[in-house]
Amino acid sequence: MYLITGANGFVGRALIAELTRRGLPFRAASRSAREGHVAVGEIGADTDWRAALEGVDAVIHLAARVHVMDRSLAEADAEFWPVNVDGSVNLMRKAREAGVRRLVYLSSIKVNGETTDGRGPFTADEAPNPQDAYGRSKLEAERGLLGLAAGGGTDVAIIRPPLVYGPGVKANFASMMKVVRRGIPLPLGAVRNARSLVYTGNLADLIITAATHPGAANEVFLAGDGEDLSTAGLLRGLAEAMGVPSRLVSVPPALLRAGAAAIGKSGVADRLLGSLAVDIRKTRERLGWTPPYSVAEGLHETVRT
């Protein structure tokens, strides 16, 4: 029996669909009671997990505080900590008390850093370098979970995904899809960066593998589709999946960065022009895992929604 936290989230819905497809038993935990879910209230240091953990063999912990807007650094840290750190450590303690074999923790590539410009791809075992409050909270949660796992009883498998996409994706990826579908020209044809992505179908498969594979115990793994794309390549892939022309204009990236800086959008330029690549060799070799879906397949499924 799997216990899924964050079951109503983007990744949680994809994971539940995959567990259902495979006929694997699971229990979904949510803040309030609803059909098919067990209520646990707010996630934090004092959450009562006893009912949710009864009869559970593995916990898949997806729930997290993700966004904090308009806060100072200290305030942002204080906002993320109760759920992402204290809540995760408390869940691990309660899981150990309940005799749970493994906890799979969905962390973030932000633990590694924000960019791989000027260097090779991130690896699972390199020194962490989080740059924001969210990344720091995920790193501290990882450390807390690994510390508890070292005491025996319940082990932990940690997965750090980059940008996740799939049916129902929102935010910047959804905005990009709308622009491509409408045929709006974009000045990104000359961008030659490298971005790693992970399709929800691949991530769900990796999570299930990490919940069961002996080699996953007390290890950190990076997730990815195994094929890096430039921003231009991603836009072309989306256009092909939609069956529409890719309307890309080649403008030198240096000019794009200068223009973005002039209007106060350097952060947007970093995401569109910079690189963030991951090396999943450890994931492949330690777990014998291969992404079951190609990028092209993932994009086709994503644009169908």
Beta strands in 177-224 (DSSP E): 197-199, 219-222
Q: Which structure tokens are listed for 72?
A: 């100072």
Q: What angle do CA 285, 85, 122 make, to 5 degrees?
A: 35
First to last CA, the chain: 30
| 134 labelled catalytic | yes
* Angle in degrees, CA 86, 89, 92, rounded to 5: 150
Choose the catalytic residue: 2, 105, 134, 165: 134
Q: Which of 283, 254, 24 is nearest to 161 (CA)?
A: 283
Q: Give the DSSP H or E segment for 117.
A: none
Structure-token pair, residue 209: 């593998």
Going by C-alpha positions, the residue among 174, 183, 187 that lies closest to residue 303 is 174
Specify the 3-state DSSP secondary structure of 293: coil
Is the distance from CB of 154 to CB of 96 less than 8 angstroms? yes
Distance of CA 52 to the CA centre of its chain: 24
Helices (H), 156-199: 171-181
CB 203 within 8 Å of CB 223: yes
Written as one string, the DSSP assignment of 31-65 is: SS-BTTEEE--S-STT---HHHHTT-SEEEE----
d(CA 104, CA 276): 24
Is residue 121 helix, strand or coil? coil
Active site residues: 134
